[in-house]
Amino acid sequence: MAAIEILGLEKTYMVGFWRKRPKRALQPLHLTVDDGEIFGFLGPNGAGKTTTLKMLMGLVFPTAGRARILGRDWTDPEVKAQIGFLPEQPYFYDYLTAHELLDYYGQLSGVPAKDRKNRVEEVLQRVGLTDIKGIQLRKFSKGMLQRAGIAQAILHSPKLVFLDEPMSGLDPLGRREVRDLILQLQQEGKTVFFSTHILSDAEALCDRVAIINQGELRGVGAVEELTKSVQGKVEVVWQGTQVPASMKALGGEFHVTGETVRTVISENQQDAAIDALRRERLRLISIVPVRTSLESYFVEKLQHSQTTAGTSA
Amino acid sequence: MNARIVHIASNTFREAVRDRVLYNLIAFAVLISAAAIFIGQISIEIERLVVINLGLTAVSLFGVVIAIFVGIGLVSKEIEKRTLYTVLSRPVRRWEFIVGKFFGLAGTLVVNTFFMALGVFGALLYVAHRFSGADSSIFIALYFIILQFLIICALALLFSSFSSPLLSAVFAFSLFIIGSFADDLRGFATLAHGLTRWVATGTAYLVPNFSALNVISAVAHQQPISWQLVLQNTLYTLFYTAMALSGAVLIFDRRDLK
Ligand SMILES: Nc1ncnc2c1ncn2[C@@H]1O[C@H](COP(=O)(O)OP(=O)(O)OP(=O)(O)O)[C@@H](O)[C@H]1O
Ligand SMILES: [Mg+2]
């Protein structure tokens, strides 16, 4: 079963004070997230990530389109009991302590009174908020608020968790902890949908990612798939200081560094290269497929969209 | 009542307490004590009349100011600070949020009024040395004052669902003033002609009828208050509040959160 099916959600905001003009924040979006996946929603600032999440949460109404969450219509109140949401730069009732806040949210999510106390302690532990008894949220640092935000998102053990930039505001250790937490959630059988513009996080965590720019979906797929060898190239490295003629014939550029030579050739010349090196009795160090990093894929996609946007304008 | 509404209401009450809304009681206590001492010294026969008039008017004004200033922020502040995101992404309907907020503020005002009423009775005892049977109608006046607060809370909520906090405060306060003269306005409407008459009549019946809810002077003069008026005011308040809250819900239900 699909955890999330986004069926053409789109959003046009009306902006301006006197004369309202339409501003397209999201083109009709079609996207399916499977049960149990960690799904990354990537895009630069202003791409429409938060807008999409807010529509899914029922905080903002789509101009058109609909969605299904956990097999139900997304506006169904039943759905809300089974999802958790961390907003971007979360802010909470600052006159409450974290314990009070979570207890209140537990009440609203229908966590039974007898479980609430333990559950609150447990999630606070899990997000690394300790020694905060009696401290009002107005005295929390940005990273502490972010942690409290994650705590409230998983408090009621939802089946599906939406996180809008879960790593923002966290120190390196905190980011690592949140990464681990997201992986744990997956192991517990939950689905995680998170937005980010930090590619390394997406690369490390996600089963699949979607890339969105200027409100438009640019690509969806497994991280491996998206970063798969660009046009089937391999990198060959061998020991030596010179390039034999038989290798030169294969073309490409050769980089000599110290005792090794490195070149990039196309995949189908791989065997020819191995043979050539063997004939010359040169020691082969490695042959690996060249992968674009998610980052270069991302940059490429964005540049592409900029040029298409430029031509259509 | 639905449990979520109760939770939202009690959190709203907690917020009011922690934001020190009840500190107004200190000012009220100072005011009423000073007034009691002052009146006890100068007048002979009319202490009771003056204390009731002054005390209940102060109760009403203090409450109205709280109802307006807390009321306009109830929902708009939560939208502004984005505290609503993590509430409405839970199984909470938007109307439940509005109604919960309303009851939270109403509860705050009832508690606040209770303490102010103690002050008024204390002052009365101080100047008159004992209570008379007629003083029991003070409870009816207090009840009407609370009804008035309910209407104002609902209106403040309604205005703040579509306009800025400042404008909402101005609207709510204007309606409080105009509504206090609703009777005069209705009288004026019957005297006018043509378009003026239509406008005046429409306005007179649309604004909350706070004249009917103000029995302070009647109570001070020991005039009896009819049970019909109690019933009529109760039903009127229920109706008016329900309409204002429904309007707020209708607007809020369609609204994109920033
Ligand atoms: N309330 C609003 N009114 C008008 N325009 C809006 C509103 N909210 C967002 N937008 C516009 O919609 C577009 C998408 O914004 P959104 O917040 O979804 O981006 P994002 O991908 O979350 O960006 P970031 O990485 O900076 O958080 C932007 O151009 C933004 O200006
Ligand atoms: Mg965003």
One-character DSSP codes across B87-127:
HHTSS--HHHHHHHHHHHHHHHHHHHHHHHHHHHHHHHHHH
Which domain does A281 fall in, by range?
230-291
Domain membership flag for residue A91: yes
CATH code of A213's domain: 3.40.50.300
CATH code of A265's domain: 3.30.70.980
Per the structure, how many domains does chain A have?
A: 2
H-assigned helices in chain A: 49-56, 77-80, 98-108, 113-126, 142-154, 172-187, 199-205, 223-226, 245-248, 270-279, 294-312
Same domain, A129 and A197: yes
Same domain, A179 and A81: yes
Same domain, A8 and A137: yes
Q: What is the pLDDT of residues B207-218, one digit of tens each?
A: 999 999 999 999
Same domain, A114 and A198: yes
Side-chain half-sphere CA neighbours of A87 within 13 A = 24
User: Among A13, A60, A105, whose Cβ lies nearest the Cβ of B86?
Assistant: A105
Model pLDDT, residue A246: 83
Domain limit, last residue, from A209, A225, A241: A225
Same domain, A144 and A246: no
Same domain, A175 and A280: no
Same domain, A64 and A212: yes
ipTM of the complex: 0.91
Model pLDDT, residue B228: 95
A53 lines ligand 1 (CB under 6 A): no
Domain limit, last residue, from A225, A240, A269: A225
Residue boundaries of the structural domains of chain B:
3-253
Average pLDDT for B124-153: 92
Model pLDDT, residue B131: 86
A18 in contact with chain B, both atoms CB, cutoff 8 A: no
Domain membership flag for residue A72: yes
B193 lines ligand 1 (CB under 6 A): no
Nearest CA in chain A to B16: A95
Domain limit, last residue, from A225, A248, A271: A225
Same domain, A219 and A244: no
Residues of chain A below pLDDT 70: 228-231, 291-295, 304-313
Domain membership flag for residue A299: no
Same domain, A215 and A248: no
Q: Please judge whether B7 and A105 are an interchain contact, meaning their C-beta atoms are less than 8 angstroms apart.
A: no
Model pLDDT, residue A75: 92
Domain membership flag for residue A17: yes
A224 in contact with chain B, both atoms CB, cutoff 8 A: no
Same domain, A41 and A140: yes
Same domain, A39 and A153: yes
Query: From the CB of residue B177, how many other CB atoms can be counted at a distance below 10 Å?
Result: 10
Same domain, A80 and A105: yes
Domain membership flag for residue A252: yes
